[in-house]
Every structure is written in C-alpha cells, then in structure tokens.
Chains A and B, each alone.
Chain A
Amino acid sequence: MSQSLAVTAHGLVKKFGGRRVVDGVDLAVPAGTIYGVLGPNGAGKTTTLRMLLGIIEPDEGERTLLGRDRPREASDHVGYLPEERGLYPQMKAREAIAFMGALRGLPWKIGRKRAVEMMEQAGLGYAVDFKIRKLSKGMAQLVQLLGSVVHQPDLLVLDEPFSGLDPVNQEGLERLIRAEQARGATVLFSTHVMAHAERLCDRLAIIAGGKRRFEGTVADARGMLPMRAHYQPERDGPEVAAILPADAQHNGRDWVFPVADDAVEALLLKLTQSGFGVAGLSIERPGLHDAFVRIVGAEALAQAEAEAL
C-alpha cells in the first residue's frame, strides 16, 4: 500500500439475498484528507463503510485500512460513528466516552480525563455525570461523537454524521471534523447533504446503485458541468433569444444558459454590443448539488432530499 493512502478499496462487492448492494466499488482515500462518500438512500454507502472497517466481510474485492489488509488490526487507530447511534442509557456520559476509548485501547483513566476535557470544550461540562438517558438526542449524539475521537484516531469514519443535528450542532461538527484533520487524522464520512460535503471535502466519491459513479475533488465534480450565466437585459423581449445560445431558457426576467470556460469574454462582448443592455449578469460554476444530479440522476436526488427532510 502507498504510504499516502489511509484507505483503499478495489472491486468491493457485497450481496444480500442475491442483490449486489455494493457492486465493485473502488476507493482511494489520501491520508490527512477529508473524504466524502456521497450517495442517495440505498446507494450502498453504509455497507461500503462497514466493509472497509471489517464489521462485515466483502463477498469480493480487497481493502486496506491504515496500511493493513485486515481492518481489525487497525481498529485501535480508527474512530467510528455509525449511522444508527447507540449508547448504553444507564451509563454516565463520561463513562460512555471512556468506554468507547477503552474498546480502542485507551486506558480508562485517560479516557475519563479526556472525556471531561472534551465535554467542557463542547459546552457540555455540566453533563459529564449525567446518564445518557437524561441527555437530549443531540447531546447524546455529541457524546457518541466524542467517544469516537477520544482515543485520537488516525482515521475517523463517520456515517451520516449530520443527520439529526440542529444547524448549530452541524456547524460544531464541521469544526470538529476540521480540527481532527488539523490534528493529522484522515476523515472519511458519508452524507447525502451536498452542502456539508461541498464545504468540507478535499475529495469525494459518489456512489449510486452500489457502484462508484465519480471520484475526485469537489472542483472536479463541479467542473463536469459548464458554467451557467444569468443574464438580465435592460430591454427584454423575444428577440433577445437571437443573441443567446439555442438552449437559453427565459426564467422571469432572467435568461439562463450554459457558458463554456473559454467563452466568457466573447459573451461579455456580445451582450454589451447587442443593444439590449445589461441590467444584471452573473456567471457561476454549478454547485455540487447540480453535479450530483448530473451524476446520479434527478430521480435519485429527489429521493435523497426526501430522506434529508
């Protein structure tokens, strides 16, 4: 394995009842990066992560985790937040965090000490001795997240970490992910919320129908679509269409149409000289949302958005 890759996967396949839930997924997660696995519901994200971590075995394919062929051997250096959150309701918050650290080889005493420090930093210092069942859902989720990083892992795997969090906690989680990266950890997380991936990810993979449809940077994904111009003429009318590309759409007072990267200058010249005037003009690179739609299809995105609600 290359020293610079924290996680690799080649041709991972997992079948359930004859259906290929994950169908030949390849991944290469560079060490020290924040890497997103994006995909709609049922895409195979969780199953892929579970195979990478060794929770379940792939039916076909190979994977390495922190340079080891057997993921279990690296488990002490990995932190994991599963999609289905789970803590012992009778445990105190501090003990729950220390317990999760102890499972990964962190001595209890250090785990308890760090748990208190981390909860204080997160503004939950008052709740260190609260039992989990007394905490709100968001607080319990935060406790579990702290438990997944208490042993300062080299690789942090988060399955849908933003789900169930309010906007304030989502922002806090983004800060924590960046802090983990700054500490030197690799962060691998799955999500179907494009905004988080767009803000956080150095690289990402898009999975749909069990297959990897895209791998690269956010810019690479956005670059798959041409830039989009929103033009508002001073004097509008059907005749404006004559100076615009054939696929331009009239949307209210705006004309919306794609623009190739090398055609921006020519477009500006054409619009200023057209005689219709320029009341407004914006040329934007499409967001990850649009790239995702293009890659997985509009139907899959609708499904993903419904899931996010």
Chain B
Amino acid sequence: MANNIGRGLRQALTVARRDFIATVFTPTFLLFLLSPMFTILFGAAGGFGASSMAQGAADRARIVVIAAPADVATIVATDRQLRQVFGRGDIPPPLDVVTPSSDPAAQARARVSSRDGDVDAALYGPLDHPIIVYGNGGSNEADYLAGLAEQALRAQKLGSTAPLSVATKTKIVRTVVTTSGHNAAALFAVMAIFLLTLFLAGLTMGTMAEERSNKVIEVLAAAVPLESVFFGKLIGMFGVALLFVGFWGTVASQITAILPAGTAAALAGVAPAVGKPVFALLFLAYFVMSYLLIGAVYLILGAQASTQRELQLMALPMTVVQMANVGMSTAAAGKPGSTIAWIAEIFPFSSPMAMAAHAANSSALWPHAVAILWQLLWVSLVISLGARWFRRGVLKSGEGPKRKRKQPQPSSS
C-alpha cells in the first residue's frame, strides 16, 4: 500500500516536473509572467492618451463673463478666491471678462456658439439677475458662473473681496483602514485569484490537449496510472502558479518603496481586515482551493477534447461559469454580508474568491475554517470524479460493461 502510494507520488512528480519545465523554461513564459505588467502598462498608456486628449480640450476651454467695467475687478478677484476650493481635476476653465456690446445677449450666444471659441458658458446682465448661456457639456461651468455672480455681488455689498475669516487647517494621519480600503483589498483578492486560476487552468488544459495530439498520452498511460498523470499535471501547474504568485507577491510587497509618496500613501490605505500576514496565508489557501477546483474541471474538459477546436468549444461554457463566479464574488467584495455574498461564499466554485474577499472585509477567522473544510470536501469530490472522467476521456475506455458507450473507439489492430 505505502509502496503504491510512494510510486504514485513519484510518478506524479515526474509528470509535474516535465510540465513545470516545459512551461517555465520557454520564452513565452516570460510573456505570461509579465502579463500583469503589460496590462498595467497598456492601461496606463490608454489612460494617458485619453487624459492627454481630455487635457487638450480642457486647455482650450473658456468661460466668459460679459460685465460692465465697474464690476470687472470684483468678478476677477472673486473668481481667484473660488478657484482655490477646487481640486486639480475639477477646476473650471479660465475666465475671460469682456466688455458688453450693444446686444450682450447676442454677444454671449455668439461666444458660446462660436466654432473655434471653445466657450463652455457665458454670463451677461446685472449680477443680481445674471443670465447664463451654455453649450453641450457646459452645465457645471454654468453653475460655476451662477455661483461666481452670487459671490461677486456679496463682495460688492460688503465692499471688499478680502476673506472674512482665516481657517486653521491641521492634517491628521489616519491610522485605521477604512471600509473602502477593505473593499479595495477584497476586490484585489477576487480579481487576483480569478485571473491566476483562469490563466493556469487554461495552461493545464493546453498541456493535456498537446499530449493527446502528440500521442504521448499512451506512453504516459502505459507507465503511470492516469490518476498520477492527472495529479502530476495539477501539481506541475501549481508549481507555475507558486512561481507567479511569488514573483508578483515580492513585487507587490516592495511596490510602495518605488511609488510616488501620494500613491504609496493611497495604497497603504488598501488593507485586509484580518491583517496582512493572515490574509497572505488565507489568500494562498483560497488560491490553492480555487486552482484545484477549476484546474480539475479544465483538465477533465481537456481530456475529452481531441482537437483544439473541441477544446475551445468545451472551455467556453466553463469560462462563462467562471465569469458568473467572479461577478458574484465581486459583488460579495463590495457588499459583505449581503445575500449575494452568502451565495458566493457557499457556491463551491466561487467560494474561494468570495471567502478571500471576506477575509479582506471582516476580521473574524472562524468562517475561514468552515469555508476551507467545505472547499476541501468539494476539492476531494471533484478530483476523485475528475480522475475517473479523465481516464475515460483520455483513452476512451475503462467504462464498465453494464453501461452503453456512445462513441466506441476500438484500437487500430
């Protein structure tokens, strides 16, 4: 018995070693390893492009006040004061103050309607009854001009634009992580487990298809029980996963040292409720569960398909199910304790992701003991069933004599 287990383990590790080396020691693995960076870089590049376009448009935008010369100084001073309360991204377009013509209404409309003027909004008339016209997307600017007229009028009535009070501002460094910070950590956990599992399960499925197309599977099946092949493949890809997680875990742990202070401070606010060391352990445990569950299912699918086309067709429903799982888990991350969160935490295939989110949102540890036991039960169930289906799929044989075979596959001789 012990001898058989030892032999099975040794054979599984031989298969795992082959799969690990075949996956890791290839140039394409670098692409896989660095894929999150590419995602970030492409996202940043896209964001930068969009931001540049938006900034270019913003640079040309203007707001206009058509005011009598007596009001100009007050309006300009009030505008200067009001702008201080806006953040960098929300600041209104620069103000142009112009002298009224004989028809200020037509003058204002002309400025807003002008093809090259980029005037978002224009104000004319007396400050106590101002009239504002604005173009598409100029609603906020119109509101700003209304406020500007109000404040300018108040300043005129007071006889000064000088501040009436001087505030004392003290910055407090928050030491507790907010609910938003927990939610952000939860979302990160869900997405990390989802993407990792999807990539690796896909790789595992690919190696299975490769072996069927190369006819290597019979060499393996003759030397090694197919259960060992199955476990070997899971272990091999798990090794790849650990490498991936280790690499990006190290990067993530050091990332705050190289980021700008503001960004680093913002990231510091993203923290799990159970604490980082415990969260790291729970994340690893849930990743393992998710990988074993999803990987086993993908491996079974890979064993049934005899062509790449069949493989893709079979993978599609599972990918859709995974999308549903990640949808539920994301909802669980944003609304801990809700019904959808409960469902996501109980449903076996979404449970690892949802419980990782739970660890980010709640400091209670006992639910994790229950969840891990529940998931272990499902892992053992799926793997034991998976190993049998894997055997049937790989060699199209091994079916009991009482069952009818739909697709007989006799040997060639």
The chain A residues found within 8 Å of chain B, CB to CB, are 15-17, 19, 21, 39, 41-47, 50, 53, 55-57, 59, 72-73, 75-76, 78, 80, 82-91, 99-100, 102-105, 144, 147, 159-160, 190, 192
Contact = CB atoms under 8 A, between A and B. Distances in A.
Given A88-B214, A105-B7, A100 B410 contact: no
Those 6 A-B pairs whose CB atoms lie nearest each other, nearest first: A86-B215, A17-B408, A46-B411, A103-B223, A86-B216, A45-B413
B170 interface: no
A105 B10 contact: yes
B214 A87 contact: yes
Interface string B22-39: 100010000000000000
A56 B395 contact: yes
Contacts of B7: 76, 105
Given A17-B408, A19-B408, 14 more contacts: A41-B412, A42-B413, A45-B413, A46-B411, A50-B411, A53-B222, A55-B222, A72-B225, A75-B224, A82-B219, A83-B413, A86-B215, A99-B14, A100-B219
Contact of A86 (B217, B397, B411): B217
Nearest to B229: A103
A102 B21 CA distance: 15
B253 interface: no
B22 A88 contact: yes
A103 B22 CA distance: 16
Contact of B222 (A57, A59, A80, A190): A80
Interface residues of B, number: 35
Given A100-B223, A102-B14, A55 B395 contact: yes
B225 A39 contact: no
B48 to A, nearest CB: 39
Contacts of B216: 86-88
Interface of B: 4, 7, 10-11, 14-15, 17-18, 22, 26, 210-211, 214-225, 395, 397-398, 401, 405, 408-413
A245 to B, nearest CB: 39
Given A19-B408, A55-B395, A99-B18, A39 B219 contact: no
A56 B397 contact: yes
B13 to A, nearest CB: 9
B83 to A, nearest CB: 63
Most buried by A among B11, B222, B398: B222
A76 B10 CA distance: 12
A16 B224 contact: no
Contacts of A105: 7, 10
A29 B221 CA distance: 23
A101 to B, nearest CB: 10
B66 to A, nearest CB: 75
Given A56-B398, A87-B214, A47 B222 contact: no
A107 B140 CA distance: 75
B32 to A, nearest CB: 16
Contacts of A103: 11, 14-15, 219-220, 223-224
Nearest to B226: A55
Nearest to A144: B219
A80 B219 contact: yes
28 contacts: A15-B401, A16-B410, A17-B405, A21-B410, A39-B413, A41-B412, A42-B413, A44-B413, A46-B411, A47-B410, A47-B411, A47-B413, A50-B411, A55-B395, A59-B401, A75-B222, A82-B218, A83-B412, A85-B215, A86-B214, A87-B216, A87-B219, A88-B210, A103-B11, A103-B15, A103-B220, A104-B223, A144-B219
Most buried by B among A17, A43, A78, A87: A17
A89 B214 contact: yes
A99 B220 CA distance: 10
Contacts of A87: 214, 216, 219
A44 B397 CA distance: 15
Given A21-B410, A46-B411, A55 B221 contact: yes
A86 B15 CA distance: 15
Most buried by A among B217, B218, B401: B218
Nearest to B222: A80
A86 B218 contact: yes
Nearest to B11: A103
Contacts of B18: 88, 99
A163 B225 CA distance: 27
A85 B401 CA distance: 29
Given A82-B219, A84-B215, A105-B7, A43 B413 contact: yes
A84 B211 CA distance: 12
B60 to A, nearest CB: 56
Contacts of B410: 16-17, 19, 21, 42, 47
Contacts of B17: 102
B268 to A, nearest CB: 44
Contact of A41 (B220, B405, B413): B413
B397 to A, nearest CB: 4
Contacts of A80: 219, 222-223
Nearest to B214: A86
A147 B219 CA distance: 10
Contacts of B409: 16
Contacts of A39: 413
A112 to B, nearest CB: 13
A160 B413 contact: yes
A55 B396 CA distance: 11
B204 to A, nearest CB: 16
A55 B221 CA distance: 6
Given A16-B409, A59-B401, A105-B10, A84 B218 contact: yes
Contacts of B224: 75, 103
Contact of A90 (B10, B22, B397, B401): B22
